[in-house]
Structure 1
């Protein structure tokens, strides 16, 4: 790789959102959903009971197509919806033509179920390389990753999941959780995580609200 190619690659990676620099005690709670319907339904009920009004859901197009009613419920509850791709496959192993087709398919599925047009994406499993990033940016996609990973899909131990979140939150953090079958451990960890976030004095916002801290404000006369 030449020096110019390395610089271009670095610039592309820097255009992926991992967190947002801010002094405000705010963070974004995000949920990936790609599989199942039991945990997603229970998750939404839990969020309602806990009074959580702000969260961002990254949904795969295939999941939305199979569960349009749940996707619509997420929208009706006022949560932000974004794309998690169409099929849950590694974008780095596929061509640009395949990526474009998948992104469009996911957008179409989300729109058909919820009426929402989204240009925000989190790739399946977060798999990215400079080529994928460049392709997604060329499609005017806002690429959102995370910097606080619960690994709730991996660990069944609730304490371990919580310890991967609460000690690491900070202003502008993006927290990754899942709402997929069969990972019921997320449902057990989430109330503790929410309590810890509140105890530390943080407010929950959507990813777009977090990103508004990066956008220049219009001059007021």
Structure 2
């Protein structure tokens, strides 16, 4: 009887050890997942979209420069990519109306990247509103039918940005995959970063002159992603399936 109790006691300790290890493992992976979430969450408030359910959205930010956007548009056209979303700074669009017109003619969606490319977390609500509306006015004058999509110029935003967007009828769009092309880490690294994307992901690229390697990386990226899902603009992604959103304070 004593042997039976000792044996079961050992088994009980082993079982408890397994439970404890499993618990810590679950906490670890939960923490890792949370750390990779593009923005922090809160219990309530306006939402920002960072992932969809169907399709893969190639998104390009343009804030300055006139050398890289054209070659990137050439590459998308050559590779047969008919859907993508370009978030344009209003100030940049004013200086390059011919490129904006080409983006629209190729059938790509245009979203609002604000006007002056400022960090919205450093502005008060009225200044954010002013910046968004100023960019919106630029697009209207150019007869560009913009989707009601807004991306914070620097990628940083808080509840002020979301409230302004909600008031103006915009959806704030973040991303689930960052190609980090603006850091110019090398074509292979950009391809590797983008290859993490799967069906439903929104990928961040840049077509500003600071992104010197994006054009060279795109053919391999496009070839790889075609096997994972069809290319779709952000508005269609939002309209045609469930989306993942985040809430921030």
| 2:212 equivalent among 171, 175, 184 | 184
Pick one of 101, 108, 119 that aligns with 1:90: 119
1:11 is the counterpart of 2:44: yes
Determine the structure 2 residue equivalent to 1:209: 236
Q: TM-score by structure 1 length?
A: 0.86
Q: Give the greater-gyration-radius structure (CA).
A: 2
Q: Provide the alpha-carbon RMSD of the alignment.
A: 1.6
Name which of 161, 164, 178 aligns with 2:190.
Answer: 161
Match of 1:129 among 145, 154, 158: 158
Structure 2 unmatched runs, 5+: 1-40, 243-249
How far apart, in 1, do the equivalents of 2:45 and 2:203 lie? 22
How far 1:130 moved relative to its partner? 1.8
Q: Aligned runs of 1:45-194 on 2, under 5 Å?
A: 45-166=74-195, 168-194=196-222
Q: Are the equivalent residues in 1 in contact too, given 2:58–2:85 (CA < 8 A)?
A: yes
SS at match of 1:205: coil
Q: Cα gap change, 1:114/1:186 in structure 2, threshold over 3 Å: closer, same or farther?
A: farther
SS of aligned partner of 1:203: coil
TM-score, length of structure 2 as denominator length: 0.77
Name the SS for the 1:135 alignment partner. Answer: helix
Residues 173-213 of structure 1, C-alpha deviations (whole Å, 9 max, x = no match): 10110101132200111111001112x24210010110012
Q: What is the CA–CA distance in structure 2 between the aligned matches of 1:162 and 1:11, rounded to whole Å?
A: 36
The superposition leaves residues 52-76 of structure 1 with CA deviations (integer Å, 9 ceiling, x where unpaired) of 1100000000000000110011001
In 2 relative to 1, CA 89–142 (structure 1 residues): closer, same or farther, beyond 3 Å? same
Name the CA distance, whole Å, in 2 between partners of 1:192 and 1:121: 28
- What's the counterpart of residue 219 of structure 1? none
Once the two structures are superposed, what CA deviation does each residue of 1:10-53 show, in whole Å capped at 9, x if it has no partner?
4336x100001x2x4x1111100111111011111111111111
Cα drift, residue 9 of structure 1: 4.4
Distance 1:117 1:213 in 2: 18
CA distance in 2, matches of 1:177, 1:40: 11
Distance 1:50 1:139, change over 3 A: same
Distance 1:132 1:74 in 2: 26
Q: 1:50 to 1:117 in 2, by over 3 A?
A: closer
Runs of 5+ unmatched residues, structure 1: 1-7, 216-221
CA distance in 2, matches of 1:164, 1:57: 19
